[in-house]
């Protein structure tokens, strides 16, 4: 049996999976930002570690677990001393601190060279900005730090005592050379960050060590459990969807939402990557990469709406979601929602952008607003897909997964994108993807394709309705003008956007 540990922004999940892909046990622990003032977005490392331990014990305690694969959200970073004690909170990617330091760093390197080295579009979200902020504003604390971790290598170190980070997570720091799969001396010199702070890079799916005896005892796990470096959570979700071949695309809808397309190195054309704000990172298979193209606000927007506008406090949120889904009117709402409630990512990369709604009347109902938010999320996804295709990235079979998806939302997605939307049986795709990597690392399967073929089972397919798609296409033409118009209006009002 293989365990996938999936560390996210709003919670951590663990699932115990057998060699045929059956979920034996799973557990989830929710948490939230420990600080959101001044545009900061912090997670407590100890809260995340405690939640991860609870999940692993609940999902695998007492079972013959062979591997634990650790995957996590990207860009977050924290500082620890030489004993592993946390000196700082975990600063996440959407945290704005360090944004003012990134332009000078980029000027030293050059935009073209940065993209050629990292495969990334230039952006202040990467860990390098946060680390430079520590250097600039918390010099004493930075001087005491012996290790800088993402949440992935933080948990790997907790479980095994080994400092290891996979290539995709290393990529999200903005300091990794994706051509040589090593830390870039050029970028480290330009940033001033000490190389010794960073963990050793390994390819995703690599066994990095065994579980520490004290951790095995505390979690009621076997003493010989192998600890496997997973990936950036986008990739593990893609693997759990079976998207392990070039051209296949995983659409993961959770707090955020994105399109992870597997592509060959030749498709990574720096000029187009920069122009369309598309990041690429190393996939778990040598020679292949994958896109990281996403929007910051997806399921969290629907949850916000239900939390803020439910009929009475204490109502069951699942029942409210169910009621809203069942009472939506057919066809487009005619309302446009710009889902930039947490800024904008691909293709705009504008962390100051704001959400907006147009087309409201006194006849607008609660269900209309709810559906319009679903539409806005998928209009934005259509922009992302168009950017990928304009950049020369082939978007083939699309497999959707995520806790925020419903049959109604999946049909809206198919109708707006005009594409078949495939699903898989398991909703635990992040943890399943980790388990698949563990099964390959342990030797039960010889390669990723054969493991995915046996462990991922297909679900329903949603076909686009031709007439509805044509109606949505007209609104999509209006939506393309929405962001520039809102940005212009707010800018004229001397409000940052």
Handedness of CA 115, 120, 125, 126 (dihedral sign): negative
> What's the pLDDT tens digit per position in 222-242?
999 999 999 999 999 999 999
pLDDT in tens, 313-326: 557 888 899 999 99
pTM for this model (two decimals) = 0.90
What is the band of 296 on the pLDDT scale with cuts at 50, 70, 90?
Answer: confident
The whole-number average pLDDT for the span 304-312 is 77
CA distance 41 to 234: 20
Cα dist from 229 to 1, 63, 138, 289, 365, whole Å: 17, 21, 30, 17, 48
pLDDT of residue 313: 56
Q: Which two tokens stand for residue 105?
A: 């760093």
Report the C-alpha gap between 156 and 274 in whole angstroms.
33
DSSP sequence for 70-110: EEE-SS-BEEE-TTS-B-SPEEPTT--TTTTTHHHHHHHH-
Round to whole Å and give the CA distance between 260 and 248: 8
**Could you tell me which of 186, 162, 161 has the C-alpha nearest to residue 174?**
186
Each residue's pLDDT tens digit, 358-416: 999 999 999 999 999 999 999 999 999 999 998 888 898 999 998 778 999 999 999 99
* pLDDT score, position 36: 84
- Is residue 358 within 8 A of residue 341, CB to CB? The reply is no
Give the Cα separation of 448 and 444 in Å (integer): 11
CA dist., res. 218 & res. 406, Å (int): 38
Helix intervals (H) in 9-150: 45-60, 102-109, 111-118, 127-137, 139-144
For the segment 73-87, what is each residue's pLDDT rounded down to a tens digit? 999 999 999 999 999
pLDDT of res. 497: 44
In this prediction, residue 272 carries a pLDDT of 63
Contact 325, 408 (CB under 8 A): yes
Rounded CA separation 428/433 (Å)? 9
Taking residues 449-472, what's their average pLDDT? 97
- Cα gap 340→356, rounded to integer Å: 8
Which residues pair with residue 337 across a beta bridge?
357
Rounded to whole angstroms, how far apart are CA atoms 292 and 314? 37
pLDDT for the residue numbered 425: 93
Per the CB < 8 A criterion, the answer to whether 70 and 152 are in contact is yes
Residue with tokens 């999946």: 410
**Tokens (6 digits) for 16:** 């115990």
Condensed to tens digits (0 to 9), the pLDDT of residues 250-264 reads 999 988 899 999 988
- With bands split at pLDDT 50, 70 and 90, how would you rate the model's confidence at 308? confident
Residue 30, φ and ψ in degrees, nearest 5: -90, 150
Q: What is the pLDDT of residue 269?
A: 61
Return the pLDDT at 107: 97
Q: Reduced to 3 states, what is the DSSP secondary structure of residue 52? A: helix
Please give the pLDDT value at position 39.
83
Cα-Cα end-to-end distance for the chain: 49
Structure-block tokens of residue 150: 């993402």
pLDDT value of residue 51: 98
For 17-55, write each residue's pLDDT tens digit. 999 999 999 999 999 889 888 889 999 999 999 999 999
| Location of structure tokens 């369309």 | 276
496 or 409, which is more confident: 409
User: Taking 90 as the threshold, does the pLDDT of residue 275 lie above it?
Assistant: no
| pLDDT reading at 492 higher than 80 | no
Looking at every residue in the chain, the average pLDDT score rounds to 93
* 476-482 mean pLDDT: 97
Region 460-481 average pLDDT:
97
List the structure tokens of 347.
């293709």
Q: Of residues 10 and 185, which shows the higher confidence score?
A: 185
* pLDDT tens per residue across span 328-344: 999 999 999 999 998 88
Q: Residues near 15 by Cβ (< 8 Å), separated by ≥ 6?
A: 3, 4, 23, 24, 25, 26, 27, 59, 428, 431, 432, 435
């Amino acid at each position: 049996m293989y365990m996938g540990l999936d560390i996210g922004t709003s919670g951590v999940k663990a699932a115990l999976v057998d060699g045929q892909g059956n979920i034996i046990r799973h557990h989830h622990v929710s948490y939230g930002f420990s600080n959101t003032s001044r545009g900061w977005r912090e997670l407590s490392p100890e809260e995340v570690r405690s939640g991860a331990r609870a999940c692993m014990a609940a999902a695998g305690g007492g079972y013959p677990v062979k591997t634990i694969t650790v995957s996590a959200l990207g860009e977050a970073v924290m500082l620890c001393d030489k004993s592993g004690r946390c000196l700082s909170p975990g600063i996440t990617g959407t945290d704005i601190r360090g944004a003012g330091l990134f332009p000078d760093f980029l000027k030293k390197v050059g935009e073209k060279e940065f993209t050629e080295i990292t495969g990334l579009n230039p952006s202040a979200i990467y860990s390098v900005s946060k680390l430079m902020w520590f250097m600039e504003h918390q010099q004493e604390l930075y001087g005491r730090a012996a290790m800088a971790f993402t949440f992935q290598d933080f948990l790997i170190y907790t479980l095994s005592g080994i400092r290891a980070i996979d290539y995709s997570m290393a990529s999200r720091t903005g300091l990794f050379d994706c051509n040589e799969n090593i830390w870039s001396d050029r970028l480290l010199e330009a940033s001033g960050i000490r190389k010794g702070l960073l963990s050793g890079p390994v390819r995703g799916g690599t066994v990095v060590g065994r579980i520490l005896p004290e951790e095995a005892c505390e979690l009621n796990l076997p003493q010989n459990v192998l600890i496997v470096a997973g990936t950036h959570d986008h990739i593990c979700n893609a693997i759990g969807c079976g998207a392990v071949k070039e051209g296949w695309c995983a659409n993961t809808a959770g707090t955020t939402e994105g399109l992870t397309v597997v592509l060959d190195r030749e498709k990574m054309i720096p000029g187009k990557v920069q122009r369309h704000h598309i990041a690429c990172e190393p996939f778990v298979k040598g020679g292949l990469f994958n896109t990281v193209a996403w929007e910051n606000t997806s399921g969290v927007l629907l949850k916000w709406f239900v939390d803020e506008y439910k009929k009475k406090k204490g109502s069951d949120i699942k029942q409210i979601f169910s009621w809203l889904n069942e009472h939506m009117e057919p066809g487009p709402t005619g309302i446009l929602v710009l889902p930039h409630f947490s800024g904008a990512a691909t293709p705009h990369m504008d962390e100051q952008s704001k959400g907006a709604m147009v087309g409201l009347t006194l006849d607008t109902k609660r269900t209309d607003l709810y559906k319009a938010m679903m539409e806005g999320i998928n209009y934005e996804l259509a922009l992302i897909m168009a950017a990928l295709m304009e950049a020369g990235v082939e978007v083939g079979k699309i497999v959707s997964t995520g806790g925020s998806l419903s049959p109604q939302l999946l049909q809206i997605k198919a109708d707006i994108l005009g594409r078949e939307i495939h699903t898989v049986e398991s909703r635990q795709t992040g943890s399943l993807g980790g388990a698949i990597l563990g099964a390959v690392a342990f030797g039960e399967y010889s390669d990723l394709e054969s493991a995915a073929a046996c462990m991922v089972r297909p679900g329903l397919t949603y076909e686009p309705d031709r007439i509805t798609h044509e109606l949505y296409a007209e609104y999509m033409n209006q939506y393309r003008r929405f962001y520039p118009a809102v940005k212009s209006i707010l800018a004229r009002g001397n409000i940052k956007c």
